[in-house]
Amino acid sequence: MFPLPALVIYTLFVVYPIFSAFLYSLYDWNGIKRGVFVGLQNFITLFTVEPFNEMFWNAFRHNVFYFVVEMIVQNGIAFGLAFLIYRKIRGSGFLKIAYFMPRLLSVIVIGFLWKLILHPNYGALNTFLGKIGLEEWARPWLGDPDTALLAIILINCWFGIGFAMLIFLAGLQSIPEDLIEAARLDGATGWRMLWKMILPLCMPAITIMTIFTFIQAFEAFELVYAMQGSMGEPFYSTDTLAVYFYRMAFSSGAGDVTLGLGSALAVVLFFIVGSVSALSLYLMRKREVQH
């Protein structure tokens, strides 16, 4: 009886709609009108016909880049900050709240604020660079294809650091004191201690955060959409798989809706995210059992 309410609501409003949407991928669609059953044709088109395949791999590469940068920057910094707080720092209560603050804002707010900060002509960042004599570094961050994606990802890191920091802090605090004490008596210090002792013992937290980051990176949509539109502008340089899906499933008003291909992409996306995260969860479980 206990799991029933959760099960019913979840099945009805998450699982059922998603799987019906998956069925759409097996039909031919003329705009938003369903045509005949075509089997796997939409999947074949998605991977073999230009420009669909080019767009897929372009967006896929961006998702991978998203993941890599978030792992290094967001999770790297978050771990560093968690470590500082773990080592007792004055004002840690305030710091934890401050780091988490960005997470409270809606994407609409975040998009608007950062667009303003990064504005090429009167944004705070370029103004600041000008004041410290680095004018030549100033650029139209969101209009330049070389920096736009990175800028978006870094904003996402800014958004996510607080949460990641708390997860890592939880990992650090769950390490038994006596283990560390014992290692110290053995003469382990500084980096060696961090590398050989602390990191391995934090593996559960790190694995969880890696999975979260992976899911987030491969479903990246809202920030790109709010700041660069459904075309992943400029020049498709910020396109991601989810934005590409949105474009095909809903279009921006230009009449390029193709729901069959959009649904096929959704299925592919689900399998990418599902298989990778299921595999890492499984590996984590297995390792835990061995411990």
Question: Which residue among 38, 129, 140, 280 contacts other proteins (CB under 8 A)?
Answer: 140
* Cβ 277 to other proteins shortest distance, Å: 6
Indicate the residue among 68 and 109 with the shorter CB distance to other proteins.
Answer: 109
Long-range contacts (CB closer than 8 Å, 24 or more residues apart) made by 110-118? 110/155, 110/159, 110/223, 110/226, 111/223, 111/226, 111/227, 114/151, 114/155, 114/227, 115/142, 115/227, 118/142, 118/151
Q: Is the separation of the CB atoms in 240 and 66 below 8 Å?
A: yes
Which span sits near other proteins by CB under 8 A: 13-21, 36-44, 59-67, 68-76? 13-21
Which span sits near other proteins by CB under 8 A: 36-44, 56-64, 66-74, 268-276? 268-276
Question: Which residue among 17, 39, 130, 200 contacts other proteins (CB under 8 A)?
Answer: 17
Which span sits near other proteins by CB under 8 A: 36-44, 64-72, 249-257? 249-257
Dist. CA 246–CA 231, nearest whole Å: 10
96 binds other proteins (CB under 8 A): yes
The secondary structure of residue 137, as a DSSP letter, is: G
* Cβ 198 to other proteins shortest distance, Å: 10
Which span sits near other proteins by CB under 8 A: 36-44, 56-64, 67-75, 134-142? 134-142
Indicate the residue among 39 and 130 with the shorter CB distance to other proteins.
Answer: 130
Which span sits near other proteins by CB under 8 A: 36-44, 62-70, 254-262? 254-262
Phi, psi of 37 (to 5 degrees): -70, 125
137 binds other proteins (CB under 8 A): no
Indicate the residue among 30 and 37 with the shorter CB distance to other proteins.
Answer: 30
Dist. CA 169–CA 213, nearest whole Å: 17
139 binds other proteins (CB under 8 A): yes
Q: Is 29 helix (H, G, I), strand (E, B) or coil?
A: strand
Question: Which residue among 74, 156, 230, 240 contacts other proteins (CB under 8 A)?
Answer: 230
266 binds other proteins (CB under 8 A): yes
Question: Which residue among 69, 263, 264, 268 contacts other proteins (CB under 8 A)?
Answer: 263
What x/- string results for residues 45 through 64 when contact with other proteins is judged by CB under 8 A?
------x-------------
Cα separations in angstroms, 177 against 62, 79, 173, 183, 201: 42, 19, 9, 10, 12
Nearest to 222 by CA among 143, 110, 135, 129: 110
* Cβ 156 to other proteins shortest distance, Å: 13
Neighbouring residues of 18: CB distance < 8 A, sequence distance ≥ 6: 270
Q: Is the separation of the CB atoms in 269 and 242 below 8 Å?
A: yes
Strand ranges inside 135-180, DSSP E: none
90 binds other proteins (CB under 8 A): yes
